[in-house]
Amino acid sequence: MALLEVEDLHVSFRTPDGVLQAVRGLNFKVEEGKTLGIVGESGSGKSVSTQTIMGLTRGARVSGTARFQGDDLLAMSSRQLQGIRGAKVGMIFQDPLSSLHPYYRVGWQIVEMIRSHDKHVSRQQARTRAIDLLRMVGIPQPDQRVHDFPHQFSGGMRQRAMIAMAMSLNPILLIADEPTTALDVTVQAQVLLVMKRLQEEFGTAIVMITHDLGVIAEMADEVVVMYAGKVMEHGDRNTIFYEQHNPYTEGLLLSLPAYGGERERLVPIPGQPPSLITLPEGCPFRPRCPYAFDKCVEEPTPIEVGRATHTSACWLPTDTRRRKKLRQEVLAAEALPAEAK
């Protein structure tokens, strides 16, 4: 049984301008000890989905199930969820200062976290564990640093301290929402290394949410690509990077300077993402898709491409040879794509 199984998740919000559909039909599974990467740009729904699952969104209309070790998180009371948050599911956010309280010492915060979930642990024991955790994430002189305030830590160290705190209760799942986006690239490398090592040592499953395909390439075993609240493609890492089916995934990769070697000119995706309040008919990517044809006004459901583990929400042929041929035709025709208007 998968550790976390999300089925048909829909999240929407009422706004003065209409209903904002943030997530529309999200499905994924996280296996024990594995990393699932959820990649998408802003407005894709990637952050909203995990925050809703953990009960951190207010005012949302939610449907679907999110089974964690068999129990549906969406049906739980906030007290039950509080018991799970931290203890079984650790969370790391983009901005460490949002979960590390600026007025309390780092060590104290970790100690409190440990003791609030288990009253039998003594302060001394918890303090020792906090120091161990800080050492584990590579913070130098942890026995001294444990008395520091968050602002005395640099950005990368703060993020690592947050990881330490998230790991303090040995959660079996770690949800990391853009954990390295705000960090310098060399610091990002440190943090990702720490996360990988922790996973190796403790068998923690990770849900990594990011817009950075490079981070996905490094960390994820399985990838979910989201756009405008929908899952566009889902598959294992190599499939997504080397044998992608969905035009959005393809477009995303082709627009990266680092992908596919030297190109004189980048191949951007024209236009911009749709409004989540007034979504276009059919496939949300249709207005920007170079492959769009008449069937696309009908909203695609995820279809198996090749194997059962690779699905793509797209009407294009699943035969890889035909697909590759189509790609070449489109790339050749892309002299100068009409850019944003």
Partner 1 sequence: MSDTDDVLLSVKNVVKYFPVQASGLLGRSKEFVHAVDDVSFEVRRGETLGLVGETGCGKSTLARCIMRLYDLTSGTITFDGKDISSLSVRQMRPFRRDMQMIFQDPYGSLNPRRRVGSIIGDPFAIHGIADGKERKRRVQEVMELVGLNPEHYNRFPAEFSGGQRQRIGVARALALRPKLIVCDEPVSALDVSIQAQIINLLADLQDELDLTYIFIAHDLSVVRHVSDRVAVMYLGKVAELGEVEGVYAHARHPYSAALLSAIPLPDPASAAERERIILVGDVPSPIAPPSGCRFHPRCPKAKDRCVQEDPDLVPRLDDIETHVAACHFPVADGENIADSTPELSADKRIVEEGLVGNV
Partner 2 sequence: MTIGDIVSATTVSEEGPLGVGPEGARKIQGRSPWRLAMERLRRDRAAVISVAIIVLIVLMAIFAPIFKHLTGHPPNQQYFDIGLTPDGLPRAPNGTFWLGTDDLGRDVLVRIAYGARISLLVGVVATALTVTIGTVVGLAAGYFGKIVDTVLARLIDVMLSLPFLLFAISLASVYHAGLKIVIIVLAIFSWSSVARIVRGQVLSIREREYVEAARSIGAGPWRIMVIDILPNVIAPIIVYTTLLIPAAIVGEATLSYLSVGVQPPTADWGQMLSEAGNDYHAGWFILFPSIALLLTTLAFNIFGDGVRDAFDPRSDRLFS
Binding site for partner 1 (CB under 8 A): 41-42, 135-140, 154-157, 184-190, 192-194, 196-197, 211-218, 237-238, 241, 251-253, 255-259, 265-270, 272-273, 339-341
User: Which residue matches tokens 């035009």?
Assistant: 247
Q: 59 touches which of partner 1, partner 2, none (CB within 5 to 8 A by kind)?
A: partner 2
Residue 331 near which of partner 1, partner 2, none (CB within 5-8 Å, type-dependent): none
Nearest to partner 2 of 249, 311 (CB atom): 249
189 binds, among partner 2, partner 1, none (CB under 5 to 8 A by kind): partner 1
Interface region with partner 2, contact rule CB under 8 A, candidates 12-20, 108-116, 182-190, 323-331: 12-20
**Cβ proximity to partner 1, 21 vs 188, nearer residue:** 188
Between 64 and 229, name the residue whose CB sits nearer to partner 2. Answer: 229
Under the binding rule (CB under 8 A), the answer on residue 16 touching partner 2 is yes
Q: Which residue has the tokens 């005012």?
A: 59
Q: What's the closest the beta carbon of residue 282 comes to partner 1, in angstroms?
A: 19
Among 7, 32, 60, 330, contact with partner 2 (rule: CB under 8 A):
60
Q: Which does 202 bind (CB under 5 to 8 A by kind): partner 2, partner 1, none?
A: none
Beta bridge partners of 274: none
247 contacts partner 2 (rule: CB under 8 A)? no
Among 141, 238, 275, 309, indicate the residue that binds partner 2 (CB under 8 A): 275
Can you state the angle between helices 106-117 and 155-167, rounded to 10 degrees? 20
| Among the listed residues 36, 39, 48, 254, the single contact to partner 2 using CB under 8 A | 48
Q: Which does 249 bind (CB under 5 to 8 A by kind): partner 2, partner 1, none?
A: none
Would you tell me how many other CB atoms lie within 10 Å of the CB of residue 293?
10
For partner 2, the binding residues (CB under 8 A) are 13-17, 20, 22, 41-43, 48, 51, 56-60, 228, 272-277
